[in-house]
Amino acid sequence: MNVDKIVKEARVIIIIGLVIGFLLLGLGIVFNILDVSFIGNIRALVGLSFIPFSVAFI
């Protein structure tokens, strides 16, 4: 029973990490294409997307 709880928790963390990573990556790409610059460095937004990806894949 404890193993099932751990597996469900890990699955939730993976899904949340992937969703956040894809959102940040998508926003960074869209902002770069549309040349929207309300953020100083759009490449930083794309770079930040790799943090949740790495959490999800570890």
Residue whose tokens read 């890990």: 10
Distance, in Å, from the CA atom of 44 to the CA atom of 31, rounded to the nearest integer, reads 12
Q: Which of 18-22, 34-38, 51-55 has the highest mean pLDDT?
A: 18-22
What pLDDT score does 9 carry? 92
Least trusted range by pLDDT, from 5-9, 21-25, 44-48: 44-48
Give the mean model confidence (pLDDT) for residues 4-9. Answer: 92
Give the chain's domain count.
1
Full domain range(s) for residue 44: 2-57
Helix 50-57 / helix 2-34 crossing angle, nearest 10 deg? 160
Give the mean model confidence (pLDDT) for residues 29-56. Answer: 81
> Model-level pTM?
0.77
